[in-house]
Amino acid sequence: MINQLRDMFIRIQNAQLKKYEKIRLYQPTNKNCIRVLEILEKEGFISGFEINKETNAVFVYLKYTSRGIPAINKITLISKPGRILSVKIRSLWNMQNGVGIYVLSTIQGLMTDEEARQHNLGGVVLFNIY
């Protein structure tokens, strides 16, 4: 799962450098990558995404500010195959002045740090984005 997330994030960041409006992801058909895209859309980091069942591809619509600056400044993978960071929700640190989010894998699925605090759940910190 982490390698698929890494590939998806690299494609998104490279497309934003080229100022593309939409990109095509070929293999993010597992439900965790789709859930991450749902979280990114809900939090306002992407404009949306579309799943094409015929070609087994996902189209991601990127988001920019009115001045052409990408909505995603930085994505950092925290847990990697060689290093898994599992935390209790009380020990989860705050993002830079509340601007970004952490995404955790909990026993109730993938969720943001704010949702995890509301449900009082800890888990594996996958990445942060701002």
Output the domain CATH number for residue 104: 3.30.1490.10
Q: How many CA atoms lie within 13 A of 10 on its CB side?
A: 6
Secondary structure class of 83 (helix, strand, coil): strand
> Does residue 67 lie within any of the structural domains?
no
Question: Greater confidence, 62 or 89?
Answer: 62
Average pLDDT over residues 60-81: 90
Lowest-confidence range among 31-35, 36-40, 63-67?
31-35
Would you state the pLDDT for residue 27? 67
Average pLDDT of the chain?
87
Q: Which domain holds residue 45?
A: 2-62
Instruction: Check whether residue 36 and residue 57 sit in a common domain.
Output: yes
Question: Greater confidence, 104 or 89?
Answer: 104
Residue 61 sits at φ, ψ, to 5 deg, of -95, 115
Instruction: Check whether residue 9 and residue 51 sit in a common domain.
Output: yes
